[in-house]
């Protein structure tokens, strides 16, 4: 039997012909979950530490370690900046999480986030040429409450070992305070991928979707379902890039956001939501049914579907409507259903549907760009520059209604994105090192090619083994039986 390749075409053919589209979508999700469980067990996780210096003979340990390394220690003591040149710090990211909001699974306990954080590290290495370490921490205080100050203190203490920090899967409202404090108080970039990364890639898709629909950013009416870290940051970046906040309506679990939401105003932890309450939805429209009438764009990051977005909501949107249904692991409405109700462009967070809004095309290049110039922080302008870089890359190679953003397998997008982010960091005055765009592009390209070649060589020589075919077949058989 030929190996099952995890792509849309071959995987679709693996399911019974009697399956409906919804059954296939459900079976895919179950298959991927089961295969992930078995593959992680087979490999014992997916990240390891590999030396990048040789061991020509055992006497070289006197160079890599004591007594020779004493000179490295004293150099860094006398000038901390040399740590970027004398250690791996300049290309090393800490992936920090308290695992309180892991994908669509909620609070998974501190160690429950390791699979996701290792996944981030895997993607950073392969796609961005960046090394990363998963650090899942316990943020609970003596009362058993998740305390944002514990995360803040942890990151501030360990920042001296890293060139940047990627925050991940921290529940709101803690995520807002953690990011905002650390961005200002750390000497290295602190990036929250659930918020800034999702916003960046969504903005890229939004830019190209509007081009195809023949609509302008400043003119469109936008509805955002969900008002967590992702959607509030998406709204903020859309506005910063020219969207009209008066034509924007956000919804949380209690209704729409507007200046009359005293519950949000009173809870100072939700200050980011209150900022949006004060500038969006001036007419205080309070139901999705009303908000969706004539809306041009729906961006949803809320409860996994497939019926969190109602068909009738899509049906009353404006001509050439755009729907982003990005809940994981199941979108709030399946693309075929949204299309049947008149949606012109549909994007989701899944790679087995067209138009995947995937953070993985964002953070590897963004962090690489920030690291190359030793940026002190990642500004909103840098995130917006990354979004336009992604949109431009896709437009130049051709876009259509089912292909609005680059894909992970388009290797050329990452050095371009990294270079554009690096240039914006220099422009914003947060870079410690000034390089040309050409230098940034070539550095990123070289490092990414090295990382990919390293993985390929380890696989070709058998140090990384291919997954057993039977493991894939068993996962497929199991998924089909569940449906």
pLDDT at 85 over 60: yes
Report if residue 233 sits inside a domain: yes
What is the distance between the alpha carbons of residues 349 and 357, in angstroms, rounded to a whole number? 5
From 169, 188, 207, give the residue that closes a domain. Answer: 188
> CA-to-CA distance for 249 and 146, rounded, in angstroms?
30
**Do 246 and 326 reside in the same domain of the chain?**
yes
Domain residues for the domain of 184 are 87-188
Among 163, 188, 213, residue at a domain's last position: 188
Residue 71 covered by a domain: no
Q: Is the separation of the CB atoms in 104 and 141 below 8 Å?
A: no
Confidence (pLDDT) at 13: 79
Question: In this structure, are 272 and 412 located in the same domain?
Answer: yes
Whether residue 70 is contained in a domain is answered as: no
Same domain? 181 vs 115: yes
Length of the chain: 483
Residue with tokens 């090394």: 131
Q: How many CB atoms lie within 10 A of CB 210?
A: 22
Predicted TM-score (pTM) of this structure:
0.92
Is the CB of residue 97 less than 8 Å from the CB of residue 106?
no
Whether residue 18 lies inside any domain: the answer is: no
Measured in degrees and rounded to the nearest 5, phi and psi for residue 383 equal -65, -40
pLDDT score, position 15: 87
For β-strands 131-136 and 92-97, DSSP reports them as: parallel
**Measuring CA to CA, how many Å separate 261 from each of 274, 282, 330, 468, 478?**
8, 12, 30, 55, 47
Q: How confident is the model at residue 5 (pLDDT cuts 50, 70, 90)?
A: low
pLDDT above 70 coverage of the chain, percent:
98
Residues 249 and 345 in one domain: yes
Asked if residue 318 and residue 302 are part of one domain, the reply reads yes
| Cβ burial, residue 417 (10 Å; 0-12/13-18/19+) | buried
Q: Based on the domain organization, do 356 and 462 belong to the same domain?
A: no
pLDDT, average across residues 11-34: 86
- Residue 77 within a domain: no
Domain boundary among 435, 450, 475: 435
Examine residue 79 and state whether it is found in any structural domain, yes or no.
no
Tokens of 215: 């609509």
Q: Does 430 fall in a domain?
A: yes
As a whole number of angstroms, the distance between CA 217 and CA 241 comes to 8
Same domain, 446 and 429: no
User: Do 447 and 427 fall into the same domain?
Assistant: no
Shared-domain flag, residues 305 and 430:
yes
234 pLDDT above the threshold of 90: yes
Q: 228 and 209: one domain?
A: yes
Alpha-carbon distance 155 to 192, whole Å?
13
Count of structural domains, the chain: 3
pLDDT tens sequence across 134-168: 999 999 999 999 999 999 999 999 999 999 999 99
Task: Name beta bridge partners: 136.
Answer: 97
Which of the residues are catalytic?
65, 120
Co-location of 209 and 338 in the same domain: yes
CATH number where 169 lies: 3.40.50.10380
pLDDT score of 1 more than 80:
no
Cβ contacts of 59 within 8 Å, gap of 6 or more = none
| DSSP structural state of residue 377 | -
CATH number of the domain where residue 328 is located: 3.40.50.720
Q: Who wins on pLDDT, 94 or 3?
A: 94
Q: How confident is the model at residue 306 (pLDDT cuts 50, 70, 90)?
A: confident
Would residue 182 count as lying in a domain? yes
Query: Do 174 and 266 fall within a single domain?
Result: no
Indicate the Cα dihedral angle 149, 151, 155, 158, nearest 10°: 110
Mean pLDDT of the chain: 94
DSSP string, 352-415: TSSSB--GGGTHHHHHHHHHHTT-S---HHHHHHHHHHHHHHHHHH--BTTB-S--TT-TTHHH
**pLDDT, tens digit, 9 for 90 and up, residues 168-219:** 999 988 999 999 999 999 999 999 998 999 999 999 999 999 999 999 999 9
CA dihedral 339, 344, 345, 351 (to 10 degrees): 30
Confidence band, pLDDT 50/70/90 cuts, at residue 433: very high
Place of tokens 């490999």: 43
């Amino acid at each position: 039997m030929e190996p099952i390749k995890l792509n849309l075409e071959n995987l679709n053919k693996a399911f019974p012909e009697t399956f409906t589209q919804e059954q296939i979508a459900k079976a895919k999700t179950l298959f991927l979950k089961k295969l992930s469980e078995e593959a992680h067990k087979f490999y014992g996780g997916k990240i390891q530490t590999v030396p990048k210096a040789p061991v020509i003979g055992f006497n070289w340990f006197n160079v890599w370690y004591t007594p020779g390394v004493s000179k490295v220690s004293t150099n860094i003591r006398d000038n901390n900046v040399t740590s970027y040149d004398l250690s791996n710090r300049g290309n090393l990211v800490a992936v920090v999480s308290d695992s309180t909001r892991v994908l669509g699974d909620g609070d998974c306990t501190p160690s429950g986030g390791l699979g996701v954080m290792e996944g981030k590290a895997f993607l950073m290495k392969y796609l961005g040429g960046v090394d990363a370490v998963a650090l899942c921490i316990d943020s609970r205080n003596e009362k058993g409450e998740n305390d944002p100050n514990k995360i803040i203190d942890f990151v501030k203490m360990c920042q001296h070992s890293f060139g940047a920090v990627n925050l991940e899967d921290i529940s709101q409202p803690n995520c807002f305070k953690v990011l905002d404090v650390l961005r200002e108080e750390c000497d290295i970039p602190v990036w929250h991928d659930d918020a800034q990364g999702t916003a960046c890639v969504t903005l890229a898709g939004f830019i190209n979707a509007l081009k195809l629909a023949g609509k302008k950013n400043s003119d469109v009416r936008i509805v955002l379902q969900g008002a967590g870290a992702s959607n509030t940051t998406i709204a903020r970046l859309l506005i910063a890039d020219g969207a009209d906040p008066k034509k924007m309506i956000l919804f949380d679990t209690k209704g729409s956001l507007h200046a009359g939401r005293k519950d949000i105003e009173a809870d100072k932890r939700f200050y980011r939501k209150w900022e949006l309450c004060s500038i969006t939805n001036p007419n205080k429209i309070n139901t999705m049914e009303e908000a969706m009438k004539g809306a041009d764009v729906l961006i949803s990051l809320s409860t996994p579907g497939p019926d969190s977005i109602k068909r009738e909501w899509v049906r009353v949107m404006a001509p050439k409507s755009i729907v982003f249904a990005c809940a994981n692991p199941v979108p709030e409405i399946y693309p075929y259903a949204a299309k049947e109700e008149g949606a012109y462009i549909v994007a989701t967070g899944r790679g087995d549907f067209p138009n995947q809004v995937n953070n993985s095309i964002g953070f590897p290049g963004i962090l690489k760009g920030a690291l190359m110039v030793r940026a002190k922080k990642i500004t909103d302008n840098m995130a917006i520059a990354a979004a336009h870089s992604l949109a431009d890359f896709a437009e130049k190679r051709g876009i259509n209604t089912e292909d609005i953003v680059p894909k992970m397998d388009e290797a050329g997008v990452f050095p371009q994105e990294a270079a554009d982010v690096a240039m914006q960091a220099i422009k914003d005055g947060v870079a410690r090192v000034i390089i040309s765009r050409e230098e940034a592009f070539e550095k990123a390209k070289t490092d990414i090619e090295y990382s990919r070649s390293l993985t390929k060589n380890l696989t070709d020589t058998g140090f990384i083994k291919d997954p057993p075919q039977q493991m894939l077949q068993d996962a497929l058989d199991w998924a089909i039986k569940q449906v």
